[in-house]
Amino acid sequence: MIKETYIESRNNSRIKSLKKLKEKKHRMRQGLYLVEGFRLLEEAFRAGKKVHTVLYERGKEEEFSRYIAPYAEESEIILTENDVIRDLSSTVHPQGVIGVVSLEDASTEEVPGRGASSELLLYLDGLQDPGNLGTIIRSAHASGAKGIILGRNTVDPYNEKVIRSSMGSIFHLPIYHQGEETLRGFLEAGYQLAVTSLEAEKNLFHEDLTGNLIIAIGNEGSGISQEIENKADVLLRIPMPGNAESLNAAVAASIILFERVRQMENRFLK
């Protein structure tokens, strides 16, 4: 049987400490982040994430029993009140449950060697919009990518808006925080770096994207930095017959990811 404690006041020292996790510097310092909502928290459990603590409000016992209790035997359970959940929440209408989850950095893992075949990662170069990042993570997960490398000045992936817009996909992809160092390791292991560029001679659909590949996605306003473009092995141009100036970063990333999926499917059918 799951044991739970009760905290009534948002002025409780434990609640004040958890509230700090709404800020990036405290998330990084403590190695923890907050996840809101029954379905998202259930997905974190199902993905094997370490959920240290679950707080749910009085009156949400049925939802807790359905979505959380089957997975939470090793988690600390705190029953609390609506105003406590609201204090910890970043949404206008909280669902009544918040989990405290371990922040994992895949940068500590060994970079795959040259023997890896047809693996795909994304490198995010200064991406700033949380909604774009969440959507890119969702598309990367759906397309079979093996991880996300965070370049310099990229928005924190444990921002609540990123988590929500990823629809739980963030729990299924390794996140590499040491961006430049990690990118260098993968390139030294034989991965190619693909960068979108208006200077590309071929459009996206005429390039071979089926090998070990890292796709770089740049800042929404300024695009890929010159430093990263200089490292590129492949330049990609997305054809735009409608002559729009540019595409949304998440849309561009999704187009490239699923062109890669199409090419991989065709390769296996041959």
Residue-level pLDDT at 202: 83
Closest residue by Cα to residue 237 from 204, 208, 213:
204
CATH number for the domain formed by residue range(s) 106-269: 3.40.1280.10
pTM of the model: 0.91
Hey, what CATH topology would domain 4-102 get? 60s Ribosomal Protein L30; Chain: A; (3.30.1330)
Q: In whole angstroms, give the CA distance from residue 255 to residue 8.
A: 48
Residue-level pLDDT at 196: 87
C-alpha gyration radius of the chain: 21
Residue-level pLDDT at 223: 85
CA dihedral 209, 210, 213, 219 (to 10 degrees): 30
- pLDDT one digit per residue (tens) for the chain, 270 residues: 578 999 999 999 999 999 999 999 999 999 999 999 999 999 999 999 999 999 999 999 999 999 999 999 999 999 999 999 999 999 888 999 999 999 998 887 766 655 567 899 999 999 999 999 999 999 999 999 999 999 999 999 999 999 999 999 999 999 999 889 999 999 998 999 999 887 788 889 999 999 999 999 998 888 899 999 999 999 998 888 887 878 899 999 999 999 999 999 887 665
Chain region(s) in the chain for CATH 3.40.1280.10? 106-269
Cα separation of the two ends of the chain: 54
The alpha helices in 222-248, defined as continuous H runs, are 226-229
Chain region(s) in the chain for CATH 3.30.1330.30? 4-102
Note whether 133 and 148 are within 8 A (CB): no
- Looking at residue 188, its amino acid is E
Residue-level pLDDT at 269: 65
Tokens in use for 57?
A: 């409000």
Residue-level pLDDT at 182: 93
Q: Token pair 């000045």 is at which residue?
A: 153
